Structure 1
């Protein structure tokens, strides 16, 4: 792993996740029964069951309890996550270099802030920073990109080298939150150290081109991940609606056989599809 990759990993979800303080929410009866079942079954049997799941299902299980999360986040069962990633009919984009399978699943599929722990309402994953957070935490944590940029060497300041994420405009009923470009202090400092350690013009020119390509690759991968996630949600919604429609048809046909009228779906308070 290169120094910048190491820095990115250390400042991402794997380093932040243990710092957050999140109040555990009371479990509903369904979650309690699932958790109790899985925690009472021998580990080898549980892992065999997990081998049939995709990474969305596996990640959802990891959020049921701390015990299950500890099991699934253990490095010794990385192969379970790898199998789950390959169980999709439409496989996700390739895992980034130097990232664990469980970390990738979290960044790709999760919806909680790695900093404050709130569920939902987060910005899209900041793939260059390898973290996901809400807008408030992003504002508090990451400086303005342009303020960091102005402090960097002129040689690469405008060469599309520096790590950058964009918080898009958010329009609400009472106010509009403007678009903001944010940077990452530690990653930017690391780049500056690397550049200053180089002695020749040739070395520095090669370094700039390498980092420019790296940023372009991260941005392209981020788009692939975001597009894949949106498509995945749409497909899952389609399947849920299709299954719901089949269940309604079967139920209404059964009610119809009992003589409940030409539109027995009315008895269920729903429209027959």
Structure 2
């Protein structure tokens, strides 16, 4: 039996459209080939796979994808680990959409500069 990495790209893409975003994220970390199919930010096919997946698995009442944000980043922030991406604290984290990061208030204050302090 040939390995799954030998699947034709068209078949792999078709299968991926039926997977939830969390599975796509995990699959993208299996090997370079899958990462290439699922995480190329300039690929319209990549973006379409993620859009179809989150439209199937993320309830419509969730926050809409911000303009200019890649679908992969949107899904990662919304559905992947819930902790701070900086200190890994699990409690009291918030998604700062304009910075494309999920972090706690303490890390946010440490890593950003206010307009007034400039």
Query: Could you tell me the TM-score, scaled by structure 2's length?
Result: 0.67
How many Å apart are 1:81 and its aligned residue?
0.9
**What residue in structure 2 maps to residue 216 of structure 1?**
none
CA 1:62–1:114 in structure 2 vs 1: closer, same or farther (change >3 Å)? farther
1:83 and 2:52 correspond: yes
1:58 aligns with 2:24: yes
Judge conservation of contact 2:95–2:103 (CA < 8 Å) in 1: yes
Aligned-partner Cα distance in 2 for 1:65–1:73:
12
Counterpart in the other structure of 1:220: none
Map of 1:218 onto structure 2: none
**Deviations along 1:27-74, whole A, 9 cap, x unmatched?**
xxxxxxxxx954232211110101112223222322334442232111
Deviations 1:242-265 (A, max 9, x none): xxxxxxxxxxxxxxxxxxxxxxxx
Which residue in the other structure is 1:93 paired with?
63
RMSD (Å), alpha carbons: 3.2
Residues of 2 paired with 1:134 and 1:65: CA distance?
31
Contact 1:114 1:133 in 2 (8 A): yes
1:126 offset after TM fit, Å?
A: 1.9
Separation of aligned partners in 1, 2:108 and 2:31: 27
Separation (CA, whole Å) in 1 of partners of 2:6 and 2:72: 23
Q: Which of 92, 98, 109 in structure 2 is aligned with 1:128?
A: 98
5+ long unaligned stretches in structure 1: 1-35, 152-184, 186-273
What is the aligned residue count?
110
Q: How does 1:109-124 map to 2 (within 5 A)?
A: 109-111=79-81, 120-121=88-89, 123-124=93-94
Change (3 A) 1:149 1:73: same
2:6 maps to 40
Which of the residues 26, 35, 39 maps onto 1:69? 35
Larger radius of gyration between Structure 1 and Structure 2: 1
Structure 1 residues 51 and 126, CA gap change in structure 2 (3 angstroms): same
For 2:75 and 2:97, the matched residues in 1 are separated by 12
Higher fraction of helix? 1
CA distance in 2, matches of 1:137, 1:69: 29
C-alpha change, 1:67 and 1:132, in structure 2 (3 Å) is farther
